[in-house]
Amino acid sequence: MGLSRFASAVEDAINRRSVAYLRDKGWRPRIIGLTGYGSVQSLHVLGRVIMADPQVEAEDPEALERAAPLGPINVAAEAQRGWRSFFTAQVGFLPVTVHANGQSIRTLTDRGGYLDVMVRDHGLEPGWHEVTIEAAAAQPVTAKVLVVDPSVRAGIVSDIDDTIMVTMLPRALIAAWNTFVRHTSTRKAVPGMADLYRKLLSEHPTAPIFYLSTGAWNTVPTLRRFMDRNGYPEGPMLMTDWGPTPTGFFRSGIEHKRTQLRNLLITFPDINWVLVGDDGQHDPMIYDELAREHPRHIAAIAIRQLSPAEQVLAHGTPEAIEQPPALRNATAEHGVPTVQGRDGHALATALPEVVAERTHTLVALDD
């Protein structure tokens, strides 16, 4: 047995013992509803089941963010919630039922307690809705889902760390900061990015925006609060789960982004995407790879250029570590435009016009 497979088996064994111990202490499964998405044909319902003390008031991440998005912050309470959110006993392989507009889908949580249920022919109209998630021995909860209008032809995918939010911390510490130090006013928004997104969406009011990150699902409450405070448009968040797998000690962030981007192309085959990221890690290569494979589905790529200090914190050197080759990239081979700038204000000087021109070209090609 390889080391990663052994680590994965150890993690599962510890979690099973933790669930049994907490159950004996009177704890029960609790469902956390995450924001899902889909088309009028199919819907992804997302959530997680963890063990929780029934005597402690439920702390649904989405409910917490809606309840007091702009209120005063109790730093000690925030830190305590962060600690508990990261060190959880997830309930794997638990029977779960999702109810969406009269349909009931039965499934099991995965080994990490997560669920991603596909509901086909759900009959929901475009817009925001709520679905119900039930699980054995847990109180039912509702989860928000976004159904994208089939007439929509534009959408945005945005990275989070170093793209819309600057923490000025080494990349390895970002998750711990987001989880344990939940004082959202200490985070700095990248100037102009929220305005840029609102400007792009003003041309396409029904277009979706997705936030794609290699961060853990546990950080969603912190990120939601940050986005509310800084005026970012609402959209589903596509995070990942950390920890060992049978093939590695940690899940691959690069593969997570590749998989989620391809899922979006499959779910929304008629949308032309604006992909927004930064040059601190692998976004330029991941986005360029997708654009080379599917040039008629990518309206533009926007890359925020990190400062030398931010580059050092991201990966240890003052220069970007990975860029597409000058002559072999989506721009040179397929005409997919790439716009770069230090912040949202710089990107806004060119990106909206570039997107409009590229969208016109793609529409003409489709006709």
Range of the domain at 207: 154-366
User: Cα–Cα distances in Å, from 26 out to 20, 29, 50?
Assistant: 10, 10, 14
The answer, yes or no, to whether residue 339 has pLDDT greater than 80, is: yes
Specify whether 221 is located in the same domain as 123: no
Q: Out of 66-75, 210-219, 287-296, pick the least confident.
A: 66-75
Domain-ending residue, one of 147, 181, 212: 147
Q: How far apart are CA 211 and CA 234, in angstroms?
A: 9
**Start-to-end Cα distance in the chain:** 55
Q: Out of 216-230, 238-252, 339-353, pick the least confident.
A: 238-252
List of residues 6+ apart from 5 with CB closer than 8 A: 246, 247
Specify whether 183 is located in the same domain as 71: no
Residue 138: the pLDDT is 94
Specify whether 89 is located in the same domain as 121: yes
The mean per-residue pLDDT over the stretch 48-58 comes to: 78
pLDDT tens per residue, range 141-156: 999 999 999 999 999 9
Residue 310: the pLDDT is 78
Q: Out of 50-54, 159-163, 287-291, pick the least confident.
A: 50-54
Higher pLDDT pick, 364 / 81: 364
Which helix (H) or strand (E) covers residue 203, if one does? none
pLDDT tens per residue, range 271-317: 999 999 999 889 999 999 999 999 999 999 999 999 888 787 777 78
The mean per-residue pLDDT over the stretch 14-36 comes to: 89
Domain-ending residue, one of 98, 118, 147: 147
Specify whether 229 is located in the same domain as 352: yes
The answer, yes or no, to whether residue 342 has pLDDT greater than 50, is: yes
Query: Could you tell me if 341 and 349 are in contact, meaning their C-beta atoms sit under 8 angstroms apart?
Result: yes
- The three-state secondary structure class of 153 is coil
Residue 88: the pLDDT is 73
CATH of the domain at 280: 3.40.50.1000
Specify whether 24 is located in the same domain as 158: no
Specify whether 202 is located in the same domain as 342: yes
User: Per-residue b/e over 22-44, b at no fewer than 16 CB within 10 Å?
Assistant: beeeebebbbbbbbbbbbeeebb
Residue 44: the pLDDT is 95
Residue 68: the pLDDT is 35
Specify whether 169 is located in the same domain as 29: no
Q: How far apart are CA 294 and CA 334, in angstroms?
A: 9
> How many separate domains does the chain show?
2
Domain-ending residue, one of 113, 147, 181: 147
**Averaged pLDDT score across all residues of the chain:** 83
Q: How far apart are CA 70 and CA 73, in angstroms?
A: 9
Sheet containing 154-158: order of strands? 237-240, 209-216, 154-158, 272-278, 298-304, 338-341
Query: Percent of the chain having pLDDT more than 70?
Result: 80
List of residues 6+ apart from 197 with CB closer than 8 A: 156, 158, 209, 232, 233, 344
CATH of the domain at 117: 2.60.40.10
Specify whether 198 is located in the same domain as 133: no
pLDDT tens per residue, range 104-143: 999 999 988 999 999 999 999 999 999 999 999 999 999 9
Specify whether 210 is located in the same domain as 257: yes
Look at strands 338-341 and 298-304 and give their pairing. parallel
Specify whether 53 is located in the same domain as 95: yes
Specify whether 288 is located in the same domain as 321: yes
Specify whether 160 is located in the same domain as 141: no
> What is the separation of C-alpha 100 from the centre of its chain, rounded to a whole number of angstroms?
22
**Most trustworthy range by pLDDT among 120-134, 158-172, 177-191:** 120-134
